[in-house]
């Protein structure tokens, strides 16, 4: 198994991140539209809002995955973060998603004091749902007709991972 390296994205990575999301199999599982321009991705990733972290996964110097993690800036939800990610179809099922999630969870819990990580995933994306469950995420709800994709509506699951011990909180 090849080594997967996780690091923060750099400006030079923008065309490579764009390439990750260009694959039809991948953009169909996200809210991305087909044919994204480099300018759109540059606007998204240069000057990220406060509390937003852009991580990439590389195998043999090839950028194969991307994760955006946003620490909530609201004074009453500073303990919450959200994430979205994508892994090149050619590298799915090879541990890339797991490594990105491990890095995001470590950043959230051990450096940002985040106790709740939220995400949204299409309900029919069984491999992604299984990956998130493997890393401690639980389904908290479902949104019917969540998004329009490839000519029809799809539903989504709201999932979250809550740190087991938070002083003053009983689960």
Q: Where are the beta strands (DSSP E) in the chain?
A: 4-8, 52-59, 62-71, 80-87, 116-122, 138-149, 152-162
Tens-level pLDDT at each residue, the chain (171 residues):
689 999 999 999 999 998 898 888 877 787 777 777 888 888 888 888 899 999 999 999 899 999 999 999 999 999 999 999 999 989 999 999 999 999 999 999 999 999 999 999 999 999 999 999 999 999 999 999 999 998 999 999 999 999 876 566 655
What's residue 48's pLDDT? 87
What CATH topology corresponds to 4-118? Aminopeptidase (3.40.630)
- What's phi and psi for 64, nearest 5 deg? -120, -5
What's residue 169's pLDDT? 60
Q: What's the maximum distance between 2 C-alpha atoms anywhere in the chain?
A: 48
What's residue 167's pLDDT? 62
Ordered by start, the domain boundaries in the chain are 4-118
Q: Model's pTM, two decimal places?
A: 0.89
What's residue 165's pLDDT? 62
In DSSP terms, which residues pair with 68 in a beta bridge? 54, 84
What's residue 37's pLDDT? 82
């Amino acid at each position: 198994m090849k080594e997967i390296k996780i690091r923060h994205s750099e400006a030079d990575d923008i065309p490579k991140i764009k390439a990750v999301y260009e694959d039809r199999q991948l953009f169909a599982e996200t809210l991305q539209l087909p044919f994204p321009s480099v300018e759109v991705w540059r606007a998204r990733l240069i000057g990220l809002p406060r509390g937003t972290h852009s991580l990439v996964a590389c195998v043999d110097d090839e950028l194969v995955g991307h994760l955006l993690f946003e620490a909530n800036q609201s004074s009453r939800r500073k303990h919450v973060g959200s994430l979205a990610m994508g892994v090149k179809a050619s590298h799915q099922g090879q541990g890339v998603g797991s490594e990105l999630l491990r890095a995001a969870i470590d950043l959230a819990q051990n450096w940002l004091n985040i106790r709740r990580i939220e995400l949204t995933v299409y309900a029919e994306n069984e491999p992604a749902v299984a990956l998130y469950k493997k890393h401690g995420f639980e389904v908290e709800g479902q949104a019917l007709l969540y998004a329009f994709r490839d000519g029809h509506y799809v539903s989504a699951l709201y999932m979250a991972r809550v740190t087991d011990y938070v002083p003053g909180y009983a689960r």
